[in-house]
Amino acid sequence: MTPKAATALLRAAGDPIKAGEMHRYHKIDRPYLGLANPQIDAFVKEWRAEVDLDARLALAKGLWNGNTHEGRIAAAKLLTQARIRPDDSGAWDLISSWVPDFDAWAIADHASIAGQKRLVADPSRLDAVEGWTQSDHMWTRRAALVMTLPWTKQNHPKPADLAIRDRVLDWAASYVNDHDWFIQKAIGWWLRELSKHDPDRVRAFLDAHADAMKPFAVKEAGRKLPK
């Protein structure tokens, strides 16, 4: 399966009317083919079964570079896998190379889910992610929080996981004076998910930083806090 052939299949299954609606919704100028996520999932399932890892990486790279909305989402889904053997196959390098291209939440979030899997597989990659927090590119800074969401979810985290949790909270604290909507939303999202498992850390963060945050982000952060 080549990227050109895969894109042709996506295009043939698309809906031009839906494509126009998606363009107006996402507000980013790139080609939209008019496919829903379940349709993309069905194609990705077939492609994953047909090709080996090297070919899958090449397909993901080509689909991403093709710059269609659905192609980029398919590229991310091709690499969304808890175990990739070998883990140093280049999947993380490819995913992280996409981060500077992020320009819309849907594509960024799908790629970030793929990135989450690779970070959990090898947390030493967080050293590279920490550098993203200093980027001039808002979507890169946001990705540092979205890709680390797995560390909000453990009920019984190990000491190493707690250290990562505190590390990312420090990143979030460095963002509180950035009032870009997507950054504030990401802070609120990270804290909301953490509050389900570690409410004390969320309360401490809000005690220290709520005054600098946008009110909607504070509300989002506290939405799941136990009363």
Domain boundaries, the chain: 1-121, 132-227
Q: In 3D, which of 68, 91, 67 has the Cα closest to residue 81?
A: 91
Q: What is the pLDDT, as a whole number, of residue 65? A: 97
Residue linked to tokens 């920490």? 130
CA distance 71 to 76: 9
CB-side exposure of 5: number of CA atoms within 13 Å? 6
CB neighbourhood size of 179 (10 A): 12
Kindly give, in sequence order, each residue whose CB lies less than 8 Å from that of residue 38, ignoring residues fewer than 6 positions away: none
Task: Give the DSSP letter string of 143-192.
Answer: HHHHTTGGGG--SS--HHHHHHHHHHHHHHHHHTT---HHHHHHHHHHHH
Q: What is the pLDDT, as a whole number, of residue 206? A: 97
Q: What is the pLDDT, as a whole number, of residue 23? A: 92
Q: What is the pLDDT, as a whole number, of residue 16? A: 94
Q: Is the pTM of this model over 0.85?
A: yes
Q: What is the pLDDT, as a whole number, of residue 35? A: 94
Q: What is the pLDDT, as a whole number, of residue 88? A: 87
Q: Domain 1-121 - what CATH class?
A: mainly alpha
Q: What is the pLDDT, as a whole number, of residue 85? A: 87
Low-confidence ranges of the chain (pLDDT < 50): none
Residue type, 79: L
Q: Domain 132-227 - what CATH class?
A: mainly alpha
CB-side exposure of 121: number of CA atoms within 13 Å? 18
Residue type, 132: W
